[in-house]
Chains A and B, each alone.
Chain A
Amino acid sequence: MRPDDRKYTRTHEWVKIDGDSALVGITDFAVQELCSGNEGDLVYCDLPEPGRALEVGETFGEIESVKAVADLNAPIAGTVLEVNVEIEEHLEVLANDPFGRGWMVKIQPKSKSIDGSDLLDAAAYEKHVATQEH
Chain B
Amino acid sequence: MKKTSLHDTHVELGARLVDFGGWRMPVQYGSILDEVKTVRTAAGLFDLGHMGRFRVEGPDAVALVDRVATNHCARIPVGAIRYSLFCTAEGFPIDDLLIYRDPAGVFLVVNASNTPADLAWLRAHSGGLDARVVDETEETAMLAIQGPRALEILRRVASGGDLDGLRYYRFAFGTVCGLPKTRISRTGYTGEDGFEVYLPFAEGPRVWRELLAAGSAAGLRPIGLGARDTLRLEAGMPLYGHEIDGEHDPLEAGLAFGIAFTPEKGDFVGRAALEGRRDRPSARRLVGITTAGPRVPRRGYPLFQGMDEVGVVCSGSMSPTIATNIATAYVARGRDVPGQELELEIRDRRQPCTVCELPFYSRTRKTQR
Contact = CB atoms under 8 A, between A and B. Distances in A.
Nearest to A40: B31
A43 B296 contact: yes
A40 B33 contact: yes
B158 interface: no
A38 to B, nearest CB: 4
Nearest to B227: A66
B38 to A, nearest CB: 13
A38 B298 contact: no
B295 A44 contact: yes
B230 A66 contact: yes
By secondary structure, the B interface counts as mixed
B318 interface: yes
Interface string B289-320: 00000111010000000000000000001100
Interface residues of B, number: 19
Given A66-B226, A67-B27, A38 B34 contact: yes
A64 B226 contact: no
B254 interface: no
A87 to B, nearest CB: 12
B16 A36 contact: yes
Contacts of A38: 28, 30-34
Interface in A41-80: 41, 43-44, 46, 62, 64, 66-67, 69
B34 A66 contact: no
Contacts of B317: 66-67
Interface string B210-242: 000000000000000010011000000000000
A41 B33 contact: yes
Contacts of A66: 32-33, 226, 230, 296, 317-318
A67 B31 contact: no
A38 B224 CA distance: 14
B32 A64 contact: no
Contacts of B32: 38, 41, 66-67
By secondary structure, the A interface counts as mixed
B356 to A, nearest CB: 20
Contacts of B298: 69
Contact of A40 (B34, B229, B295): B34
A46 B294 CA distance: 9
Given A36-B16, A66-B226, A41 B31 contact: yes
Contacts of B347: 62
Interface in B1-60: 16-17, 27-28, 30-34
B28 A43 contact: no
Contacts of A134: 17
Interface string B318-337: 10000000000000000000
A43 B347 CA distance: 17
Given A66-B33, A66-B230, A67-B226, A43 B294 contact: yes
Nearest to B29: A36
A134 B27 CA distance: 14
B110 to A, nearest CB: 24
Interface string A76-104: 00000000000000000000000000000
B31 A64 contact: no
Contacts of A40: 31, 33-34
A71 B215 CA distance: 41
Nearest to A88: B294
A46 B351 CA distance: 13
Nearest to B295: A44
B296 A44 contact: yes
A46 B28 CA distance: 25
Interface string A18-55: 00000000000000000110101101101000000000
A64 B296 contact: yes
Contact of B28 (A36, A44, A69): A36
16 contacts: A35-B31, A36-B16, A38-B28, A40-B33, A40-B34, A41-B32, A43-B294, A43-B318, A44-B294, A64-B295, A66-B32, A66-B33, A66-B296, A67-B27, A67-B226, A69-B298
Given A38-B28, A40-B34, A44-B295, 6 more contacts: A35-B31, A38-B32, A41-B32, A44-B296, A66-B32, A67-B27
